[in-house]
Structure 1
């Protein structure tokens, strides 16, 4: 079993209650010296002490032992390598020391750096309107992305509820559309109706709670009709779980809370259609063959990619992936992350990344190894996905979906097996976007970086007009 160290959490709990180590020790029935060892991560937390903490301080077990160290360490490591800082970056030992002994300072540093990133992103969009306060606000999409990533993009309560529902529904993936309509009708009294596009010109699904009917647009293909019904089942069967997660999210805007509710119900739908254990088993057996998984579970390519990012259950983890979806203009329309990869929130991500080149070969999977400016190396897979087509004006409205993992996991993925991992030129040097990328002599640079000056020599022409 993995040892559980909770030094920073324990120290913070003691200080919140204005207790000395001796006072905490008396409450827990242990010695002050042992409390000191626990706070400095020199002893792991025993079950007996954990139960005493719950009884004496009323803390939730899961909250106390939740391990966010990996994400926080990755966040700190990426932040201190930003070119905005001069001099050598702190090493891993120093960063771990900061998390262990000054977690509050580390958390505030990350908040400050997040605000810096948000400001840098917003500076690009200044057009003469909006106040300074508007420029510093974190968007609902960013808040939700961070909420999912902080939890490893995995919600065990939703997984449990979704698996229980799938067992009740029974049947095979081939009959899922009929089975879900029956589930809604028999257990919840909700009917399902298919509507013409002229009747629903601006909607793909409308759930009328007063009339107890789900209207689906005929513009939806078969797999997406199934997904929308699974989403509605999440709305009526996992209401309490979703409400609890939303209330505990810390998101305080109505738009953010409603957006989070939608994404959590989407999570439930994916978990129900692709049950965790069966999905992970087939993913590992097929070396993460996305088309094989889509065929086996009767879902779309994009739905499989999204589901792959959620396989982070303790004791049964899959490859940790990030997920990104972009349109032709480079705008990011969806993003989820279970890795240390920094995902662009806005458009204009790096053209060297073949996520854009996938538009040239619709339906073809494009694999690529990439390296970020701070040295992180990742394996990515990109492919187009089609949107609903219901008129001449909506033809060829494709998006590109990309998933990726850290290099260390690439050997578990079939798409990576044809590459020579020892090739020094294997990794394409990419950035988040030009305004934030510190790379010099990049032939694809389209903007001057906001946070640094590139060298300019009037007697020399470099690879772009921004440096020489």
Structure 2
């Protein structure tokens, strides 16, 4: 059985309540010296002591034992790989020591680094326009992304709730819409109607709690109609729990909390349509063949990809994936990340990465092995997906969806089967974007890097105008 250490959390709880180690020792019935050992991770916790701490400080046991150190370590490595920092970066042991002994410092350092990156993005997109304060705060999208990532894109309570809801409303992949429609009417008195584009306008879903009526747009295909119905079911059955989860995230109640509730509802919907164990088993059996997975559960390619990023249940984990969805201009419109992939955090603006090539051949999957400047290697697949079409003016609303993981998992994925994974020439060197990329002699460079000087010689012309 794995040992449990919660030293930094215990220290934070004590300091937040203005207690000394002697005060904690008295409440727990142990010696101050033993409290000191616990806080410094020199003693593991027994179940009895864990329960005593939980009761004493009124903190949930799961919250005490939740371990985010792997994600925090990945974020620190990415931050110290920033080209604005000079000199040798701390090694892994130093970073782990900082996480264990100074978690508040690490958290604030990462917040500062995120603010720095946000400021750079705004500057590169056209200046600050007086938005000094805005630059220091994460956007709602980034805040929600961070909350999901801290939970490894997995919420056990929502999984259980979705499984219970599916038992109450049994559905089959080939008849999701019909089964959900009947279930909503029978168990919740909600009637579902599909309305014309003229009636719905730009809205895809409208739910009126007073009349208990759910209106869905004709623009939605069958799979997306089922997803929207499952989303409404989330709030009918677990609305209070979802609201509480959003409040407990301790984020901006006006800018972030409503959006977070929507995303948690989407999580429930995905878990309802694609139950955890059957979904993971199908993924493993098919070699993560996404089209076959989607067919097996009656969902879209994008819904299946999104669900794959949530397969992080303890002792029943799938491959840790990241997911990016981009438009033609390179804007990230959706992202989830269960990996250490820096590119998944800051966009897909590197032209060497083939995420944009998918637009040239819609519906075709583009596999690629890539390597970041710090040596991290990843495997990704990219394919176009479609948004609902409302009229002749909105015909081409394609986006590119990219799903990826660390290269060491690629042997489990069918799309990588034809590649020699151990061939170093297979990996394309990429970066976050040209302004932040330190690579030299890149024929795709579109901007001068901000923090390094590339060699320029009037007597020599390189492959780009930025380097001789």
Using the size of structure 2 for normalisation, the TM-score is 0.96
Contact 2:171 2:180 in 1 (8 A): no
- Please give the alpha-carbon distance, in whole angstroms, between the structure 2 residues aligned to 1:345 and 1:208: 36
In structure 1, the residue matched to 2:169 is 169
How far is the alpha carbon of 1:418 from its aligned partner?
Answer: 1.4
Q: Corresponding residue for 1:431?
A: 431
Alpha carbons 2:83, 2:436 under 8 Å: kept: no
Q: List aligned pairs for 1:213-252, cutoff 5 A.
A: 213-252=213-252
Partner residue, 2:457: 457
SS of the equivalent of 2:329 reads coil
Q: How much has 1:426 moved relative to structure 2?
A: 1.1
Q: How big is each residue's C-alpha offset from its partner over 1:273-327, in whole Å with a ceiling of 9 and x where there is no partner?
A: 0000110111111111101110000000000000000011111111110110011
- Determine the structure 2 residue equivalent to 1:440: 440
Per-residue CA deviations over 1:327-374 (Å, capped at 9, x if unaligned) read 122111111111111245676611111111111221111111111122
| Residue number in structure 1 paired with 2:75 | 75
Output aligned runs, 1:176-187, within 5 Å. Answer: 176-187=176-187
Residue 247 of structure 2 contacts residue 253 of structure 2 at CA under 8 Å; is this kept in 1? no
- 8 Å contact from structure 1 (residues 329, 347) kept in 2: no
The superposition leaves residues 164-220 of structure 1 with CA deviations (integer Å, 9 ceiling, x where unpaired) of 111111142112111111121122111111111122221111112222211111111
2:157 matched residue in structure 1: 157
Aligned partners of 1:329 and 1:348 also within 8 Å: no
Change (3 A) 1:128 1:117: closer
Aligned residues: 468
SS at structure 1 position matched to 2:368: strand
Distance 1:172 1:260, change over 3 A: same
Distance 1:33 1:295 in 2: 59
TM-score normalized with structure 1 length: 0.96
- Give 1:467's aligned residue: 467
- Equivalent position of 1:332 in the other structure: 332
Cα distance, 1:61–1:227 mapped onto 2, change above 3 Å: same
Determine the C-alpha separation between the residues in 1 that align with 2:106 and 2:137.
21
2:227, 2:94 → 1: CA distance?
Answer: 46
Structure 2 gaps of 5+ residues are none
* Cα distance in structure 2, aligned partners of 1:323 and 1:81: 22
For 1:116, the equivalent position in structure 2 comes to 116
SS of 2:197 mapped into structure 1: coil
Alpha-carbon distance in structure 1 between the residues aligned to 2:255 and 2:211: 25
Rounded to whole Å, the distance in 1 between the matches of 2:437 and 2:266 is 33
Q: What does residue 48 of structure 2 align with?
A: 48
**Pairwise mapping of residues 287-366 of structure 1 onto structure 2 (< 5 A)?**
287-343=287-343, 349-366=349-366
8 Å contact 2:25–2:35 — kept in the other structure? yes
Task: Tell me if structure 2 keeps the 8 A contact 1:82–1:374.
Answer: no
SS at match of 2:89: coil
Mapping of residues 3-22 of structure 1, within 5 Å: 3-22=3-22
Partner SS, residue 147 of structure 1 = helix
Partner of 2:395: 395
CA contact (8 A) 2:343 2:431 kept: no
Distance 1:347 1:86 in 2: 24
Distance in 2 between residues matched to 1:365 and 1:146, nearest whole Å: 28
- SS of the residue aligned with 1:255? coil
- Equivalents in 2 of 1:347, 1:61: separation in Å? 36
Distance 1:447 1:250 in 2: 39
What's the CA shift string for 1:115-135, capped at 9, x where partnerless?
111111111123473432233
**5+ residue gaps, structure 1:** none
SS of structure 1 residue aligned to 2:200: coil
Cα distance in 2 between the residues matched to 1:375 and 1:320: 19
Q: How many Å apart are 1:227 and its aligned residue?
A: 0.8
Moved more, 446-455 or 265-274: 446-455
CA distance in 1, matches of 2:347, 2:20: 50
Map 1:172-211 to 2 at 5 A: 172-211=172-211
Contact 2:326 2:348 in 1 (8 A): no
- Do structure 1's residue 27 and structure 2's residue 4 form an aligned pair? no
Superposed displacement of residue 136, structure 1: 3.1
* Correspondence 1:246-261 to 2 at 5 A: 246-261=246-261
Question: Distance between the aligned counterparts of 2:193 and 2:56, measured in 1?
Answer: 54
Distance of aligned partners of 1:348 and 1:28 in 2 relative to their CA distance in 1, 3 Å threshold: closer
- For residue 86 of structure 1, report the CA deviation from its aligned partner: 0.8
Q: Distance in 1 between matches of 2:114 and 2:331?
A: 20
> Aligned partners of 2:421 and 2:348: how far apart in 1?
29
